[in-house]
Amino acid sequence: MIRITEIKIELKDAITLELEKAAILNYIYDKYRIKKNDVQSFSIFKKAIDARKKDHVIFVYSIDIELPYEKNLVDKKYPNLMISPDSAYHEVEMGDKTLKHRPVIIGFGPSGIFSALLLARRGYRPIVLERGLDVDERTKLWDHFKTTGEFHEDATILFGEGGAGTFSDGKLTTLVNDLRSRYVLEALVKHGADPAILYINKPHVGTDILKGIIRSIRQEITLLGGEVRFHSKVTKLEFNEGVLSAVIVNNNNRIETDVCLMGIGHSARDTFTLLYEQGIHITQKAFSVGVRIEHPQVLINESQYGKFHTMPNLGAADYKLSYKSNNGRGAYTFCMCPGGYVMCSASEPNGVVTNGMSESRRDGQNANAALLVNVMPEDFNSDHPLAGMYFQREFEQKAFQLAGGSYKAPLQLVSDFLNNRTTQKVGSVKPTYEPGYTFVNFKQFFPEYIHQTIHEALLDFDRKIKGFAMDDAVLTGVESRSSSPIRINRDDTGQSNIQGLYPMGEGAGYAGGIMSSAIDGIRQAEMIIKTYQKSH
C-alpha cells in the first residue's frame, strides 16, 4: 500500500462519512491522476483539524490506499506520497524459562488491563487483583456519594475496574511514539469504541462508553483463562533473598507467584507505604499542583474555530497551553475536558481532590481543564521517599477544612483570584463540581510560588485564548493528582530490587495518562513473555 499525506478537505465537504470519503478520493484522483476503478482498498490513517487560520479551518488527512501500480507512483517522487510504513503491533517471542505459577497483576487500571489482556491472549492465564469494585458497583457507590456526601473508600473514582480513567474524558492521546498504541486502540475498537479513534488526531472515548468497553475486555480476559478478582487488596509481598514468592491479599489469602506486575494507581497511598516499609526502592518525583478552571464551552469553540465554530463535524474544541514564569516555575493546562464536568476525586477521608470528566458527546455547557504549577522534590522539605505524597495530602486536607468539610471544594472566580478577594457569588459560568463548593480566597491557600505563577499564567493564557481570564470563569481546587509523587525504581529487565516484581504504569511513575499507562503495561507483559514459557 502507499500512504498519501497532507490531503486538505473543506469542512463543508466532510459533514458525513460518505461525503468525507468521496472528497478524499476526488482529491487524489485529481492530484495524482489515479483512476477511480483502480482503487483496490482505502482507509484513513490520520485525521486532524488545521485551525491556524480562523478564516479557513480545514481537515487534513493521511490515507493508505492500495493500487495495482503503486511502484510507478512512488517512482515519480510525488511530494507527500510514500510506501506505507508498517504500523502493526508485532508479538514478541516466548522465552524458555519455566514459570511455576500463574502471573499476578495488581490493579485493573490501564496498565493492568492491557498487560492482562496481552498475557491472556498469549495463554498465560493471569490473575488480576483489584482492590476496588467492578465498574457497575463502583458507579452505584459513586452516585450514592454524590447524593449523600458519605465517604467510602470503594466509592471513590480512583479505585476499581478501569482505574481513575473510567471516570474521565477517556483521552487516548500520548506523546509516546510507540506501535503498542495501535494495539491499545484496536483492542478498544474491538470492544465497542468508535473506529474513528484509530485515525483522529485527538481520540477520546468518554466515560459513558468506556465503562462498557472495560467490562467487555474483562470478559475476554476471563474467557481466555484469566481471572479478575475485585475487592482484592494486596496487603503484603513475600520474598526470600530478594526473590518474590507470593502476595498476600486482604491480610489472609496467600497467592504463590513467580512474577507480579504492579499496576497500582497514582493514589494508592497505603500501598506506597507498604512498599516502602517492605524495602522496595522508591524515589521522589516531581508533579504538579493547582486548580480546575471552567469556561463556557462556546467561548473555547469560538476562540479555536472562529466563524466555523457551529460546524457540526468539528465537535467541542479543546486547548493546551503552557507558560514559563520568571520565578522558574512552569504552568500549564492538563487533562482538558471539552463539554465536561469537574469531579470529586478524593481517595482518603477528609481531603478534597478535583479532576475532570467528559462523556462521549462532550455536550456539557462548560469546558474544564487543570491549571497546574510544577512542584519539585526540593519543595517537599524532606528527603523521605514518600515526602511528595505527604505534600499532596497536606494540600487536600487543607482544602477540605477551608471549604467547611462534607467534601465541598474551595471555589473562586478568576476576577477575584486576580484581585485577591473572596468570591461572593458565581456569575454566568455555573460550577459543575459535586457535592458543592465554598467561596474562598486561594491566596490564603496556596504558597506564593504557586499562586503567583497561576496569576501570571491566567494573564498569559488570556492573550492566547481571548476570554480565558474572563471575570466569572470558575477556579475549583485542589488539583493535586496530575501524576504519581513517587517512582518505584526498576532496572533494564523491568524489575524492581525484588526479582519478579515488575512496577508499571502511572502509579509507579512511568506514565501519565490512559495510553502511556496501557503501553507501559504491554511493555512489562512483554518482559514476562520474552523470559518465561506460559505455565500449565
pLDDT tens, residue by residue, 5-37: 999 999 999 999 999 999 999 999 999 989 999
Residue 381 has a pLDDT of 95
**pLDDT grade for 143, boundaries at 50, 70 and 90:** confident
More confident residue, 144 or 439: 439
Distance CA 258, CA 104 (A): 8
**pLDDT grade for 166, boundaries at 50, 70 and 90:** confident
**pLDDT grade for 216, boundaries at 50, 70 and 90:** very high
Strand segments (E) across 57-103: 58-66, 81-83
Q: Which of 469, 503, 528 is nearest to 122 (CA)?
A: 528
Q: Which of 90-94, 205-209, 411-415 has the lowest mean pLDDT?
A: 205-209
User: Mean pLDDT throughout 109-136?
Assistant: 96
Residue 177 has a pLDDT of 76
> Is the confidence at residue 4, as pLDDT, over 70?
yes
Q: Per residue in 206-242, is it b (16+ CB within 10 Å) or e — as a string?
A: bbebbbebbbebbebbeebebbbebebbbbebebeee
Residue 164 has a pLDDT of 82
User: Mean pLDDT throughout 118-126?
Assistant: 98
> Is the confidence at residue 156, as pLDDT, over 90?
no
Q: Per the confidence metrics, is the pTM higher than 0.85? A: yes
Residue 146 has a pLDDT of 79
> Is the confidence at residue 389, as pLDDT, over 90?
yes
Q: What is the pLDDT of residues 471-511, one digit of tens each?
A: 999 999 999 999 999 999 999 999 999 999 999 999 999 99
Where do the domains of the chain lie?
Answer: 2-83, 104-283+486-531, 286-479
> Is the confidence at residue 169, as pLDDT, over 80?
no
User: Mean pLDDT throughout 312-330?
Assistant: 95
Q: Cis link prior to 352 (omega < 30° from 0)?
A: no
> Is the confidence at residue 176, as pLDDT, over 70?
no
Residue 155 has a pLDDT of 66
What proportion of the chain, given as a percentage, has pLDDT over 70? 99
Q: Which CATH architecture has domain 2-83?
A: 2-Layer Sandwich (3.30)
H or E element at residue 115: helix 110-121
> Is the confidence at residue 101, as pLDDT, over 80?
yes
Nearest 5°: phi and psi at 152? -145, 135
Question: 46 in helix, strand or coil?
Answer: strand
Distance CA 3, CA 354 (A): 43
User: Mean pLDDT throughout 258-275?
Assistant: 96
**pLDDT grade for 150, boundaries at 50, 70 and 90:** confident
Residue 316 has a pLDDT of 96
User: Mean pLDDT throughout 173-183?
Assistant: 82
Residue 131 has a pLDDT of 94
Residue 168's DSSP bridge partners are none
Q: What is the pLDDT of residues 72-81, one digit of tens each?
A: 999 888 999 9
Mapped to the 3 state alphabet, what secondary structure does 241-307 carry? CCEEEEEEECCCEEEECCCEEECCCCCCHHHHHHHHHCCCCEEECCEEEEEEEEEEHHHHHHHHHHH
CA distances to 111, 193, 347, 350, 501 from 153, rounded to whole Å, are 21, 29, 6, 12, 26
Question: 43 in helix, strand or coil?
Answer: strand
Distance CA 529, CA 509 (A): 23
> Is the confidence at residue 175, as pLDDT, over 70?
no
> Is the confidence at residue 107, as pLDDT, over 80?
yes
Q: How many CB atoms lie within 10 A of CB 475?
A: 26
What proportion of the chain, given as a percentage, has pLDDT over 90? 87
Q: Tell me the CATH class for 104-283+486-531.
A: alpha beta
